[in-house]
Amino acid sequence: MFGLFSAALLALSAGAAARPTLEARAATELSTSQFSNYAPYTQFARAAYCASSDIASWNCGEACSANADFQPSLTGGDGNAIQLYFVGYWPAQDAVVVAHQGTDPTQFLSDLTDLNFGLKTLDSTLFPGVSSSVQVHGGFADQHAKTASIILTEVKNLLSSTGASTVVAVGHSLGGALAELDAMFFTLNLPSSVHVKAVTYGTPRVGNPAWATYFDSKVSDFVRIDNKKDPIPIVPGRGLGFRHPHGEIHIMSATAAYSCPGDDDATDSQCTISQVPNVLVSNILDHLGPYGGIYVGTLFCT
């Protein structure tokens, strides 16, 4: 299975090594304290893999204990047709958090190559005012649409009841793609006074270059964290019309992480495009972490 997975991903990553000519820009190494600030978000992404019954009582082991004050208010999904998700209030940051489950990396290929693999225009009822030139992965868009309305209603209720003015979207893998869509969705459907933040992990490319440009113009507080030789962030390939937005942080080792310039075009040796030019030099196990010492996935919901 892994051989087929690698071969298919190699095809999907076609064009990933091609880079535009850029002015000189350098990746910036983050201090240990700077990178450790992302640990609470990593734990939320980890918790998104846990059973809804454990999330409802906020009793999911280390992932829940790390953000012990969190107050879940909505859980959903079945982990199959609909990814698990939860919404709640985080007093420590006076923020509403929305988290989406990812998927087994060896099974994720189906989400990248199914019949909805092609780029499609965003649903104007969910993403009002967006140009038809802005397109995203059809499978991701369809999965996001299944829960968008119910999640938005809960987010609005929590913003009203708590007085919070920040919404944070988090997720890993497929969950990261959904969180990226959430960031735009919330930006377009919530008052401009609400600050939208997103932190994602091991996220595949979600949309085309027009999506990346539009996202950059609308969502300023966005970070996508990639780990070492993880192949998922380089698929679907740029040669297939996909492009990441800004915000890459690339983990090189347990003690080194770099903020990478630009969108999907950082030529620095510390960034994903140089580190993982194709899947033949990748390691799918890096998709699970560690992200600052934290592993994320179903096996780590303890």
153/111 Cα distance (integer angstroms): 27
Q: SS3 breakdown of the chain: % helix, strand, coil, rounded to 5? A: 40, 20, 40
52/286 Cα distance (integer angstroms): 26
Query: What is the mean pLDDT of the segment spanning 268-284?
Result: 91
Q: Any idea which of 111-120, 146-155, 274-283 has the lowest mean pLDDT?
A: 111-120
pLDDT of 289-300, one tens digit each?
999 999 999 888
> Residue 263 above 90 pLDDT?
no
Q: Enter the CATH code of domain 2-16+26-300.
A: 3.40.50.1820
Nearest CA to 110 out of 137, 130, 128 is that of 137
pLDDT of 194-241, one tens digit each?
999 999 999 999 999 999 999 999 999 999 999 999 999 999 989 899
CB 163, CB 192: distance < 8 Å: no
Query: What is the mean pLDDT of the segment spanning 91-96?
Result: 98
Query: What is the mean pLDDT of the segment spanning 84-108?
Result: 89
Look up residue 293 and give its two tokens.
């010492």
For the chain, which residues make up each domain, given as ranges?
Answer: 2-16+26-300
User: What rounded mean pLDDT belongs to the chain?
Assistant: 89
> Residue 10 above 80 pLDDT?
no
245/91 Cα distance (integer angstroms): 29
Choice between 183 and 14, residue whose per-residue pLDDT is larger: 183
Q: Any idea which of 90-94, 170-174, 295-299 has the lowest mean pLDDT?
A: 295-299
DSSP code per residue over 96-118: EEEEE----TTTTHHHHHSTT-S
